[in-house]
Amino acid sequence: MIFPFLGLFACANGADNVNVDEFAKAVADGARIVDVRTPEEFAEGCIPGAVNVDWNGPDFISAIDARFDDAEPLYVYCRSGRRSAAAAKALKKAGYKVVNLLGGYQAWTAAGQRIDQDFKYAESLLKAGESVPDFELGDIAGNSFRLSDFRGKSVVLVFWASWCPDCRAETPELKAMYAEADPEKVQFVSVSFDREFDALCNYVGENELPGVQLFDPAGKKDSKVGADFGVKWIPSLYLIDPEGKVAVSTVMAWKIAAALDGTLPASQRSAHFCSDESCAL
């Protein structure tokens, strides 16, 4: 697909610039996104679907040539827009169609756009296609469940704790996912690492959390279940297919929601994103 350059205007070096809204439309449409910051900056968080090619690294154009052809535009960004403007100028000279994000990643985050932090926090999670280990835990009502009890359905598996600010922040999105999912096809299962059982029960009740609410008394640090699933950060989330294999593993709830509604690109259906397309599903 050739992406239309809506709302573009040229800067002094001849590159095309767009604001956050236009850049976000391109991201949603599956545009080729290039983050020209350093790998360290990239690992802290990036625009979803971005490929990292450091502008200040060796042979920038050669690195781009190895990953892309020049048939479709490249949408580039950096932290504030200065490096990407320079990169855009060089890419344009090399024959690429290029669009630069005005204000860079800072403008993107300031506008409240979604970001991807899986490079930093989800690297240890099980990868797409791997079979998940089975486990057995009790729920807050005293019932015992095995993960394999839900085989035949897709399972949204969430590792969390009520004391975790990031977990609490994702409560509305998880509830929205549950409300929109077909209960005949999707089962929601949460594993809590709460230190106190009563705190878990109170939070679940006050927030009317849906699905099966399991409690791991070992806590996050000593949990065998968490270790088996590679959980080092919470929340960590999995979408498990009906055959018991990982479809998506992430620390970002929006990726699970996007996978459930079919809007998550196939190239993002794994915990460890590649710097090229070689490991895309």
d(CA 90, CA 211): 52
d(CA 62, CA 27): 24
Q: Is 230 helix (H, G, I), strand (E, B) or coil?
A: coil
Residue 52, Cβ neighbours under 10 Å: how many?
Answer: 20
Beta partners for residue 34, in sequence order? 51, 76
Helices (H) and strands (E) in the chain, counts: 12, 13
Identify whether the C-beta of residue 124 lies closer than 8 Å to the C-beta of residue 230.
yes
Identify whether the C-beta of residue 189 lies closer than 8 Å to the C-beta of residue 211.
yes
Identify whether the C-beta of residue 161 lies closer than 8 Å to the C-beta of residue 201.
no
> Phi first, then psi: what are they for 33, rounded to 5°?
-105, 130
164 is catalytic: no
d(CA 268, CA 279): 10
Identify whether the C-beta of residue 236 lies closer than 8 Å to the C-beta of residue 118.
no
Tokens of 166: 């990031």
- Give the active site residue among 78, 164, 274, 279: 78
| Closest residue by Cα to residue 191 from 247, 153, 229 | 229
What residues are labeled active site?
78
